Each structure stands twice: as structure tokens, then as C-alpha cells.
């Protein structure tokens, strides 16, 4: 069966299915969908959890681990969650067959939770996806479009017991510029500051949701796009010192660089800068920053930066040996305009000079 994220809560009030495949490129919604499934499963007695991360080239992954785990009886007959995180939906190797086997005979006392990037039409028609969908549920997570964001914010505020005027939700949507993670953080902050039942208006938004003096991931990406090398490096260092998880910084970098790469591709096909940025969904208030970055970074530069993002991702996941923060410093400095990196320049992004 297929479920939309907004249908999940009603679905979870009934019996859990043996298989859930959650796909999409909006990390916040995908994470929250999976969290709701895990919480419901935990309440239902699924007390064990095994997690496997499959790299980009799934053919290099030992799929026998999944096969053996699925066929093994859980310790003391406890119910468990078997979670498989796919980095890509192509080149799965034996993975496709393993998923079909699991769908044909769902493991006893086991909930199989699979996360994957966005499934295009051809991927949705593959045998393994159809098999998993037939045995359980396929939940596709779609990005929240700019015109939908005020309503998304209003619904999230309502769950916290906060009413908001239409102007307030529009203002908050403009402040976060389409970034769902930023919107969710602001709503959580408002839930701590605003009394339940009180109506949230534009004046409160202007007062509470102001630019923060704290180091933030969003300030970091803005400074990086603007080519402000020293400011970006200082912000990155501050984030590290504050204990920010490197995966959050990588997510922000990857998001901006993928947008730039898509815009650069359209420019190469003859589109103007403004047309290219509009086509890839850049908000009007951010066009200036991305225009600066496009003037500074060639398509070949963006390709190198995205490969470095992939390397950083594998380092964070423990698949490669290295320092993820050094990789992030390299991405930050290169994207900001530093052409030649060495150990000294990387240190600028990681420690006081």
C-alpha cells in the first residue's frame, strides 16, 4: 500500500505492517516519519533494533548480513526493528533479491524499516520496490513547496497548542526561506515561549524570530555562498565548539551545492542566471547569494565539492577513516573562494589562529 506522511498517524493507530519503505529528499520529514514508526513499534513491544547503512554502491555491501539477520530468531523471542538505510536506490547488487525475499516471507517478530532517497518513476516500478510495497507500505516524502510552507507551519504550531494569524505564518515562512529544519526549530522555540491558546501575530514573530547572534548552520551557508571566507570559517569553528553534529552541517552544505549544480547545468544549456535559479526553486530573497556563488564556482568546482560531500558522508558514517570536520572545512573554504588548500588553511576553519 501507499501512505502519505499526513496519513501515518491514523494508520499507526491500527496494526503495524511488517515492512515500511520511506523515501524522499526532505530529511526532516523523512526523519520524523521514521521516528513515529519507531515510537509506535517500541510501544508495541519492539524493543531491539539493528541498523545497517548501505553505501552508494550497494553491490559492495555484504547483503548476507541482512539475509541472516532477517532469518535469525531474535534473542529471547523479542520483537525487533531491522533498519536498512540506503544511500542510493541503484546498483544494489544482491540487495534487490534480499528485499524481495523479505517481502515474500516477512521475518517473524521483525519490523523491516527501509529509508531511501527519492524514488523516481523507474525505481518505483522495480520488482523490489513493488514487492516491499505489496508486503507493507511505501511512504514517499515530498518537499514542502513555498506556497505550502505557511500552512505547514500553521499545522505544526497548532500541534503545540498555538494559534497563529495568517500574517504570522507568512512572516515565519519568509524568515526561514523554505528551510524546514529552520522552521521546525523556530516552532519548537515558540512553543516554549508562547502560552498555549495565545494567538501568535506578526509583532511576536518579529520580536522572537529574530536573527540570532549564536552561530547557526544557516548563517554559515549564507557566508559561504557570499564568499566571506573568514566569517564562514569562524562560524564553522563556532558550530564545532558548540557541539553541532557534523551531519547537520553536511546536510546544509549538500543542499546548497546541489541547488547550485542544478542551476549551473541549466545555465550551461542557455538559461539566464535568474531563470535558472527560479527553475530550481530558489527563493527571491536568496537569489543574490546564489548568484554570487554561481559567478565564483565553475561546474567542475561544484562537481568536486559534491564528491567531497559524499566522502564526508562516508567518513561520518564510519565507512572511511578521516576527520569529518576537516572535510567540512575544506568544503566551506573551497565554496567560499579559496582556490588552494593546505593544512594551514584548513586549520583556519577548525581552530583559533
Cell of 227: 564568499
pLDDT computed for residue 263 by the predictor: 93
Q: Which residues are paired to 24 by β-bridges?
A: 141
pLDDT computed for residue 213 by the predictor: 36
pLDDT computed for residue 345 by the predictor: 47
Q: What's the rounded Cα separation, in Å, for the pair 251 and 239?
A: 14
pLDDT computed for residue 195 by the predictor: 72
**Mean pLDDT over the full length of the chain:** 85
Look up the pTM and report it.
0.57
Handedness of CA 113, 118, 121, 123 (dihedral sign): negative
pLDDT computed for residue 309 by the predictor: 94
Q: What is the mean pLDDT of residues 191-205?
A: 77
pLDDT, tens digit (0-9, with 9 covering 90-100), for 213-242? 345 788 899 999 999 998 899 889 988 987
pLDDT band for position 341 (50/70/90)? low
Angle between helices 217-225 and 246-268 in degrees, nearest 10: 30
**Res. 177: pLDDT tops 70:** no
pLDDT, tens digit (0-9, with 9 covering 90-100), for 13-34? 988 999 999 998 888 888 899 9
Closest by Cα among 231, 190, 245, 238 to 216: 238
pLDDT computed for residue 142 by the predictor: 86
pLDDT computed for residue 184 by the predictor: 86
Q: What is the mean pLDDT of residues 314-319?
A: 92
Closest by Cα among 318, 176, 335 to 247: 318
Ramachandran assignment for 148, one of left (phi > 0), alpha (psi -120 to 50 degrees), beta (any other): alpha
**Res. 80: pLDDT tops 80:** yes
Burial 74-92 (b: 16+ CB within 10 A, else e): beeeebbbbbbebbebeeb
**Res. 97: pLDDT tops 70:** yes
Query: Among residues of the chain, what percentage have pLDDT more than 70?
Result: 91
Q: What's the rounded Cα separation, in Å, for the pair 274 and 316?
A: 35
Q: What is the mean pLDDT of residues 196-210?
A: 73
pLDDT band for position 73 (50/70/90)? low
Q: What is the mean pLDDT of residues 316-335?
A: 93
SS3 track for the chain: CEECHHHHHHHHCCCCCCEEEEEECCHHHHHHHHHHHHHHHHHCCEEEEEEEEECCCHHHCCCHHHHHHHHCCCHHHCEEEEEEEECCCCCCCCHHHHHHHHHHCCCCCEEEEEEECCCCHHHHCCHHHHHHHHHCEEEEECCCCHHHHHHHHHHHHHHCCCEECHHHHHHHHHHHCCCHHHHHHHHHHHHHHCCCCCEECHHHHHHHCCCCCCCCHHHHHHHHHCCCHHHHHHHHHHHHHCCCCHHHHHHHHHHHHHHHHHHHHHHHCCCCHHHHHHHCCCCHHHHHHHHHHHHHCCHHHHHHHHHHHHHHHHHHCCCCCCCHHHHHHHHHHHHHCCCCCCHHHHHHCCCCC
**Res. 103: pLDDT tops 80:** yes
pLDDT, tens digit (0-9, with 9 covering 90-100), for 43-58? 988 888 888 888 878 8
Handedness of CA 88, 90, 94, 97 (dihedral sign): positive
**Res. 212: pLDDT tops 50:** no
Domains identified in the chain and CATH numbers: 2-141 (3.40.50.300), 146-208 (1.10.8.60), 217-348 (1.20.272.10)
Query: Among residues of the chain, what percentage have pLDDT more than 90?
Result: 35
User: Cβ neighbours of residue 235 under 8 Å, at least 6 residues apart?
Assistant: 215, 216, 219, 220, 223
pLDDT, tens digit (0-9, with 9 covering 90-100), for 233-274? 988 998 898 788 899 899 999 999 999 999 999 988 888 888
Q: Say which residue the cell 527563493 belongs to.
A: 283
Q: What angle do CA 235, 238, 242 make, to 5 degrees?
A: 140
pLDDT computed for residue 134 by the predictor: 92
**Res. 352: pLDDT tops 50:** no
Amino acid at each position: 500500500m501507499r501512505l502519505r506522511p499526513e496519513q501515518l498517524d491514523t494508520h499507526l493507530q491500527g496494526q503495524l505492517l511488517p515492512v515500511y519503505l520511506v523515501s524522499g529528499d526532505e530529511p526532516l520529514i523523512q526523519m520524523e516519519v521514521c521516528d513515529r514508526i519507531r515510537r509506535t513499534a517500541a510501544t508495541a513491544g519492539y524493543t531491539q533494533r539493528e541498523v545497517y547503512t548501505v553505501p552508494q554502491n550497494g553491490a559492495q555491501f555484504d547483503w548476507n548480513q541482512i539475509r541472516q539477520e532477517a532469518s535469525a530468531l531474535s534473542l529471547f523471542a523479542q520483537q525487533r526493528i531491522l533498519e536498512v538505510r540506503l544511500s542510493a536506490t541503484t546498483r544494489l547488487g544482491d540487495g534487490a533479491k534480499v528485499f524481495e525475499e523479505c517481502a515474500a516471507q516477512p521475518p517473524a517478530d521483525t519490523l523491516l524499516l527501509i529509508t531511501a532517497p527519492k524514488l523516481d518513476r523507474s525505481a518505483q516500478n522495480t520488482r523490489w520496490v513493488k514487492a516491499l510495497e505489496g508486503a507493507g507500505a511505501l511512504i514517499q516524502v515530498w518537499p514542502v513547496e513555498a506556497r505550502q510552507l505557511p500552512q505547514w507551519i500553521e499545522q505544526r504550531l497548532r500541534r503545540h497548542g498555538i494559534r497563529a494569524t495568517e500574517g504570522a505564518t507568512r512572516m515565519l515562512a519568509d524568515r526561514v526561506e523554505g528551510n524546514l529544519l529552520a522552521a521546525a526549530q523556530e516552532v519548537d522555540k515558540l512553543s516554549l515561549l508562547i502560552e498555549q491558546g495565545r494567538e501568535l501575530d506578526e509583532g511576536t514573530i518579529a520580536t522572537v524570530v529574530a536573527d540570532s547572534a549564536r552561530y547557526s548552520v544557516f548563517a554559515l551557508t549564507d557566508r559561504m555562498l557570499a564568499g566571506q571566507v573568514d566569517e564562514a570559517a569562524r562560524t564553522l569553528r563556532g558550530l564545532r565548539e558548540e557541539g553541532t553534529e557534523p551531519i547537520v552541517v553536511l546536510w546544509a552544505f549538500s543542499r546548497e551545492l546541489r541547488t547550485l549544480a542544478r542551476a549551473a547545468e541549466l545555465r550551461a544549456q542557455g538559461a539566464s542566471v535568474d531563470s535558472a535559479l527560479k527553475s530550481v526553486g530558489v527563493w527571491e530573497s536568496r537569489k543574490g547569494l546564489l548568484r554570487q556563488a554561481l559567478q565564483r564556482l565553475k561546474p567542475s568546482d561544484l562537481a568536486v565539492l559534491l564528491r567531497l560531500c559524499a566522502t564526508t558522508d562516508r567518513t561520518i558514517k564510519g565507512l572511511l577513516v578521516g576527520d569529518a570536520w576537516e572535510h567540512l572545512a575544506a568544503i566551506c573554504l573551497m565554496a567560499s573562494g579559496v582556490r588552494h588548500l593546505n593544512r594551514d588553511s584548513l586549520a583556519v576553519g577548525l581552530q583559533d589562529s
